[in-house]
Structure 1
Amino acid sequence: MLMSSSDKAATLMYGPNGFRIVKPGHFVVCAQSGVPVPLEELRYWSVERQEPYASAELSTQRALQDL
């Protein structure tokens, strides 16, 4: 059975103004909650940790863990 890129998670490099696709896919997995985030909906990530987040709240929760 052939799998399309929509069945696989993408691998991204996160920068301060955007991200670059390293390995094609349709989504990334939120580092805080584990839920899949479609690339077209991805708005929050950490450049330092190279992690994606599903929401601003989850991004803030993750940042507060290091304090």
Structure 2
Amino acid sequence: MLTTPAGRLARLHYLPGTFRQLSPGDHVLCAVTGAKIPLDLLRYWSAERQEAYASAEISTKRLLGQV
């Protein structure tokens, strides 16, 4: 069984509605706040910008150009 390295930043390719893991890790960083987002809690990202977001509010503000 493969294990994910704890505490390691994952590299992802964001697609509409899903993402593909390019390198192993257990989290990504929010593009706006820099907060760690565990992969199992990652819900918001932009496939166009290839960015992850910590919350729906942050994602919306980024989309509207407010951050």
| TM-score of the superposed pair, with normalisation by structure 2 | 0.88
**Aligned mates of 2:58, 2:48 — CA distance in 1:** 16
The alpha-carbon deviation at position 11 of structure 1 amounts to: 0.3
**Aligned mates of 1:10, 1:49 — CA distance in 2:** 17
2:47 aligns with: 47
Aligned residue-pair number: 63
2:59 aligns with: 59
The alpha-carbon deviation at position 10 of structure 1 amounts to: 0.3
The reply on whether 1:31 has 2:31 as its aligned counterpart is: yes
Structure 2 regions of 5+ residues with no counterpart? none
What is the RMSD computed on CA atoms of the aligned residues? 1.4
The alpha-carbon deviation at position 33 of structure 1 amounts to: 0.9
**Aligned mates of 1:6, 1:18 — CA distance in 2:** 22
2:9 aligns with: 9
**What does the per-residue CA deviation read over 1:10-66, in whole Å, with 9 as the maximum and x for residues that have no partner?**
000000120000011000000011100000000000010000001000001111117
Misfit runs of 4+, over 4 Å:
none
